[in-house]
Amino acid sequence: MDNSEDLRADDVAQHGWAHGRLPLPTEGRDWQRFASAWDDLVPDAYLGPARCRRNRRYGRVLAHRDGTLEPLVGTEFFQSKQINRAFGDQLRVFEPLTDEALASTRFTEILRESVALVNEAAGKRDWELGIHFIRVIADADEASEPAPEGRHSDGHEYVAIHLIDRHHCVGGESQVFRRGEERARHRVTMTEPLEALVLSDTTMEHAVSEIRTEGACDCGWRDTMIVDFNTVSDLTEVPGRTHSSLQ
């Protein structure tokens, strides 16, 4: 698939994954202000000895089936060891997304486009979204693993991985696998802002190769926005409700 093609919901529905680009602008002041949020991320305190340098923030949004995006309070994130062999069975509490990021027009546009795509593939419903802003950093002496857990699924129903920026780095090839199969169904090194992979997390697995600095550069990084989709069966049971909406 050519990087310039828009994401297709029927690819997700038929094949379990789609690769393409969100049809949103990535130039001008609004985009620059949004992308600068990755300069304000904080070191991931849970990495331990993992071969990865990673800064991040995390937020949660309730995407109502009527289109309302309700910000949620709380940044707790848990995966079992069965799902995440590197970081599972521990409650991770990340620093929240900033108010500036939540107020960004580009942020809400990306969420609306992502939700619309998944709703078209899976059927319209209420979703609890987990939103990760992540910067993976490599230096001249050491590469960095964007996914230290290796080939994996994340324990959600769908996952959308959006590239925001690459700076003086090489590598970072994404691979998409059907569960139980050894051969990757798709391989791509995403290079364009808002190029994306959308995956059925119940049927597919994914991995991404290490990034390294480019040439003689001292530092390089890869910025992504990852959106986890979890079905909500009872809105009253969603923790951290604010009953407000993002514009």
Report the 10 Å Cβ neighbour count for 31: 18
Given a cut of 50, whether residue 54 has pLDDT beyond it is: yes
Contact between residue 238 and residue 125 where contact means Cβ atoms under 8 Å apart = no
Q: What Å distances lie between residue 127 and 117, 218, 221, CA to CA?
A: 13, 41, 30
For residue 102, the Cα-to-chain-centroid distance in whole angstroms is 15
Q: What is the pTM of this model?
A: 0.94
Average pLDDT over residues 97-102: 97
Nearest Cα residue to 220 out of 229, 228, 210: 210
Distance CA 199, CA 65 (A): 20
User: Percent of the chain having pLDDT more than 70?
Assistant: 95
On the CB side of 229, CA atoms within 13 Å amount to 28
